[in-house]
Amino acid sequence: MSEVTATDLYEVTMALSYLREDMRAAATFSLFVRELPPERGFLVAAGLEPALDRLARFLVDRSDVEAFARVLGRPVAEVEPLRGLTFDGEVRAVPEGRLVLAGEPLVEVTAPLPQAQLVETCLLSLLCHQTAVASKAARCVLAAGGRPLVDFSLRRAHGPEAGLQAARLCALVGFAGTSNVAAAQRYGIAGTGTMAHSYVEAFPSEEQAFRAFARAHPGPVTLLVDTYDTDRGVATAARVLRELGLGPGCGIRLDSGDLAGQARRARAVLDGAGLTEVQIVASGGLDEYAVAALVRQGAPIDVFATGTKVGVADGAPSLDAAYKLVEYDGRPVMKLSAGRATAPGPKQVFRGPGLRDVIGLANEEPPEGTEPLLRTVMRRGLRVEPPDTLAAARARFEADVALLPEEARRIEAPVAPRPTPSTRLAALTTVVRHRVEARTAASDAP
């Protein structure tokens, strides 16, 4: 499937109409989340890097035109004006890893109107899904309180590509590794994994399975101990690890049941066998709530492995995001729909201490003690600097989290900071609103 045709049909029909009407002047669209989902005190900006890659190679070719024509049921000649369309605009964006709040633009695109319109679906799809997953993973990092986490989400993700994204996003917010081989290779993430219950079941006994696994993998191994009876499995694993002289770097994995109780008993058995350096890994439907509860109970768990619930951003799998026109041909515009009104003009977010953010106009000077979040990442359809790195994004995430108010960090019932509009943005909004209302009233007059 062509990346270009992976769009909503109305993007195509609008772009064709704009070309027919010769509406090719510069348009600025702002992509933002109207309101944070429940139980979210912040979002983590993510998805920008793959979005920039997509924009850089955007090109409507003949096969795309033919596909559009078939779906529209129109002759190819009528859709031909789209052929050769590329993206040669400007992108200003919040870098990956930074925390964002409701109403703050993650991305602003300025390009000829048909171009800016045609890339809407792509940008919303990439940025919304990845921001949702990164935000879920970030909450797990906060819940773990410094204990390592690893990503086990691939098998439950919404397809291989979503699993690849999830592994990258978990690494972006500080996860220590992933079970996803493709992600480990592509992004330089540490690969990690143990064994399945089926592996243990395939052998005549649990001990034979553990010994065979250790023979095949002479380095550090992690043994899954809850296939049958967990306490016996721990004892068997301890005996095998001790007899084979394996300890540092090795671990046992608990995947079901009372993880806190099992971990305490397992720790006692391991320590009693002199295996104080063998780690306990916990998995099995974990999310930030479960991780926080285990930490609160003082469970001696060294590593948390999260899967399904992080990979699908359980609890808030979608974002109330919008991609709205805010300026066309130098004229600020806005939407007035009840509950869906937008603010006009290209914008900037000015970050103050404690995430006391101000949303202002793009050409404003930063208020004292603040820094602008959006930066120019693409001009004339080309990146202005080399691709970002996971390490840099992780450093931005850690710096912003350090500024996050305690009530926004809470796992349960968090309270998100609310950005405020600048004086200039508020004034422009009032002016444009009155102008739109006056024009609407005049057009409705008999």
Q: What CATH number does the domain containing 170 carry?
A: 3.20.20.70
Domain count within the chain: 2
Residue 3 in domain: no
Instruction: Write the pLDDT tens digit of every residue in 38-48.
Output: 999 999 999 99
By CB neighbour count within 10 A (0-12 exposed, 13-18 middle, 19+ buried), where does 350 fall? buried
Residue 181 in domain: yes
Same domain membership, residue 204 and residue 299: yes
The residue segments making up the domain with residue 117 are 9-133+316-444
Q: How confident is the model at residue 22 (pLDDT cuts 50, 70, 90)?
A: very high
Q: Has residue 174 got a pLDDT over 80?
A: yes
CATH number at residue 414: 3.20.140.10
Predicted TM-score of the model (pTM) = 0.94
Q: Has residue 444 got a pLDDT over 70?
A: no
Give the pLDDT of residue 340.
84
Residue where one domain finishes, among candidates 287, 311, 335: 311
Q: Give every CB contact of residue 253 below 8 A, 6+ residues apart in sequence.
A: 194, 222, 223, 224, 225, 226, 280, 281, 282, 283, 305
- In this prediction, residues 9-25 reach a mean pLDDT of 97
- In this prediction, residues 83-91 reach a mean pLDDT of 96
Give the pLDDT of residue 1.
63
Percent of the chain at pLDDT exceeding 70: 99
Q: Which residues lie across from 375 on neighbouring strands?
A: 93
Q: CA-CA distances (angstroms) from residue 43 to 34, 98, 206?
A: 12, 8, 44
Pairing of strands 331-332, 321-328: antiparallel
Same domain membership, residue 90 and residue 23: yes
Residue 400 · residue 135 · CB < 8 Å: no
Give the pLDDT of residue 446.
65
Give the pLDDT of residue 439.
84
Q: How confident is the model at residue 178 (pLDDT cuts 50, 70, 90)?
A: very high
Residue 195 in domain: yes
Q: Tell me the average pLDDT of the chain.
A: 95
Percent of the chain at pLDDT exceeding 90: 93
Give the pLDDT of residue 337.
83
What's the sign of the alpha-carbon dihedral 134, 138, 139, 141? positive
Q: Has residue 303 got a pLDDT over 70?
A: yes
Residue 421 parent element (H or E) = strand 420-421
Residue where one domain finishes, among candidates 284, 311, 338: 311
Same domain membership, residue 335 and residue 256: no
Give the pLDDT of residue 247.
80
Same domain membership, residue 172 and residue 60: no
Q: Has residue 440 got a pLDDT over 90?
A: no
